[in-house]
């Protein structure tokens, strides 16, 4: 029997969500469209299988096939991220947040000092936000962005590191639009003998396609989700130098997780194969070009972009000169079929729930085949709606028609 006949309620909700995804513009920087093939692996019978522990050492029988799935996924991660021979891969983390906890748990004791970017400047909840388990368990000292440039200030980060002597320095953001100088972070970490950890959840797809430099030549541990610019399943990976492999593996299982989601691991393998194609490289390059095009058009309309622009797939629009808050702008744009997320700006005087900016990303719309011309169109709609909220309903109809020409992969 089909889902449609057996569970019409859930079937109907999925159809309505499909329609929403088709008829609106997804500018949420952390979202994307996974391919049909990724979803086929994710929705497969592999989800039936329990396989606690790692290939060759499982606590359950019947794992000879899923062992091969996990090994293939690990090999393909190695290839996609060009890992040196003395690096190790763990593909079991359920998602980005557990992956980060698993690294801290492997390498630190509760109360140890970690340096990271604060949430409102573009860090993640798991980078020591006071409302998060990480902020309650470890001593986080947050660096900010330069108030003048809106960018990372490596001299300030070094000064702070010298003062607080962190055991681990974390670099990697949910809302930072500029290229990261990983070598500088390595130098800072070396000066204070800290472990250098990168969380590339957002930019992993760009890194795999060489559209952003990689931390791997310089860092000790790298975590990433697989569902953002990488366009895979909701899951995560940890890559680390061999000397941390045992501690990391133990921390993932049995430290923090039980049975791995083999279906998600198979979908990671499919994602990594896709990431090595010429088509993926083109997509990643276009993501960056599209983001720049959108930023330039918005600037032409008088919008302030934090740090003055973007080098990657996202930008933060500072709305303080537009007489609207981040939350209100998000709601208004949504009523025009343009889906975004509210975002803090550096030194934001407002609170995280209703901050001073919105975050815009170009990955999902690029996956639909949109190019610079379309980005300019989207930016003009954003400018028009923020200037005159009364046209939102009309724009929503235009967006719906526009979206018909750009079918989303997997839908």
Residues 334-373 that bind ligand PLP (CB under 6 A): none
Residues 115-134 that bind ligand PLP (CB under 6 A): 124, 126
Q: Which stretch binds ligand PLP (CB under 6 A): 106-114, 169-177, 285-293, 319-327?
A: 169-177
Active-site residue, 24 included: no
Q: How many residues bind ligand PLP (CB under 6 A)?
A: 14
* Cα-based distances in Å from 252 to 96, 104, 159, 256: 12, 11, 33, 5
Residue of 25, 26, 28, 30 interacting with ligand PLP (CB under 6 A): 30
In the complex with ligand PLP, which residue's Cβ is closer, 126 or 286?
126
Active-site residue, 388 included: no
By CB under 6 A, is residue 271 in contact with ligand PLP? no
Active-site residue, 311 included: no
Active-site residue, 234 included: yes
Residues 190-209 that bind ligand PLP (CB under 6 A): 199, 201-202
For CA atoms 17, 340, 368, 300, the dihedral sign is positive
In the complex with ligand PLP, which residue's Cβ is closer, 99 or 211?
99
> b/e per residue, 155-177, with b = 16+ CB within 10 A?
eebbebbeeeebbbbbbbbbbbb
For CA atoms 102, 362, 38, 239, the dihedral sign is negative
Q: How many CA atoms lie within 13 A of 12 on its CB side?
A: 5
Active-site residue, 50 included: yes
231 within 8 A of 38, measured Cβ to Cβ: yes
292 within 8 A of 366, measured Cβ to Cβ: no
Question: Which residues make Cβ contacts (< 8 Å) with residue 66, sequence separation at least 6?
Answer: 46, 49, 51, 262
In the complex with ligand PLP, which residue's Cβ is closer, 172 or 337?
172
Shortest gap between Cβ of 163 and ligand PLP (angstroms)? 25
Q: What residue has token string 């490596």?
A: 154
In the complex with ligand PLP, which residue's Cβ is closer, 233 or 337?
233
Burial class (CB in 10 A: 0-12, 13-18, 19+), 180: buried
Residues 220-239 that bind ligand PLP (CB under 6 A): 225
Residue of 92, 97, 105, 257 interacting with ligand PLP (CB under 6 A): 97
Helix, coil or strand: residue 155: helix
* Beta bridge mates, 141: 115
Q: Which of 40, 52, 285, 334 is catalytic?
A: 52
Residue of 44, 53, 95, 146 interacting with ligand PLP (CB under 6 A): 95
Other beta carbons within 10 angstroms of residue 19's beta carbon come to: 12
In the complex with ligand PLP, which residue's Cβ is closer, 100 or 129?
100
By CB under 6 A, is residue 172 in contact with ligand PLP? yes
Question: Which residues make Cβ contacts (< 8 Å) with residue 181, sequence separation at least 6?
Answer: 152, 154
In the complex with ligand PLP, which residue's Cβ is closer, 266 or 293?
266
Active-site residue, 199 included: yes
Q: Which residues bind ligand PLP (CB under 6 A)?
A: 30, 95-97, 100, 124, 126, 172-174, 199, 201-202, 225
**Residues known to be catalytic:** 50, 52, 199, 225, 228, 234
């Amino acid at each position: 029997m089909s889902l449609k006949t057996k569970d019409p309620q859930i079937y109907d909700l999925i159809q309505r969500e499909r329609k929403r995804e088709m008829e609106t513009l997804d500018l949420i920087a952390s979202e994307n469209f996974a391919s049909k093939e990724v979803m086929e692996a994710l929705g497969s019978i592999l989800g039936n299988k329990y396989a606690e522990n790692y290939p060759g050492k499982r606590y359950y029988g019947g794992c000879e096939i899923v062992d091969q799935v996990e090994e293939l996924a690990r090999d393909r991660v190695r290839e996609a991220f060009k890992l040196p021979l003395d690096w190790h891969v763990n593909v079991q983390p359920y998602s980005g947040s557990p992956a980060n906890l698993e690294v801290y748990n492997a390498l630190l004791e509760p109360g140890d000092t970690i340096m990271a970017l604060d949430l409102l400047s573009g860090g993640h909840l798991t980078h020591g936000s006071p409302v998060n388990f990480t902020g309650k368990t470890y001593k986080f000292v947050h660096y900010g962005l330069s108030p003048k440039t809106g960018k990372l200030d490596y001299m300030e980060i070094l000064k702070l590191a010298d003062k607080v002597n962190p055991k681990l320095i974390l670099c990697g953001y949910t809302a930072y639009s500029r290229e990261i100088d990983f070598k500088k972070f390595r130098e800072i970490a070396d000066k204070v003998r800290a472990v250098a950890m990168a969380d590339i959840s957002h930019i992993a797809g760009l890194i795999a396609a060489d559209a952003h430099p990689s931390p791997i030549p310089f860092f000790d541990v790298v975590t990433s989700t697989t569902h953002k610019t990488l366009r895979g399943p909701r899951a995560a990976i940890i890559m680390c130098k061999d000397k941390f492999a045992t501690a990391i593996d133990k921390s993932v299982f049995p430290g923090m997780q039980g049975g791995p989601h083999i279906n998600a691991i198979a979908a990671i393998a499919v994602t990594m194969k896709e990431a090595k194609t010429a088509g993926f490289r083109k997509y990643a390059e276009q993501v960056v070009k599209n983001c720049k095009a959108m930023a330039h058009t918005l600037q032409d309309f008088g919008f302030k972009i934090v740090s003055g622009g973007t080098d990657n797939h996202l930008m933060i629009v500072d709305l303080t000169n537009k007489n609207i808050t981040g939350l209100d702008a998000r709601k208004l744009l949504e009523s025009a079929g343009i889906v975004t997320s509210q975002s803090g700006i550096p030194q934001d005087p407002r609170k995280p729930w209703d901050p001073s900016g919105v975050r815009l990303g170009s990955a999902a719309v690029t996956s639909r085949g949109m190019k610079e011309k379309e980005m300019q169109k989207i930016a003009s709609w954003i400018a028009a709606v923020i200037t005159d909220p009364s046209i939102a309903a009309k724009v929503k109809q235009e967006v719906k028609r526009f979206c018909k020409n750009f079918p989303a992969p997997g839908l």
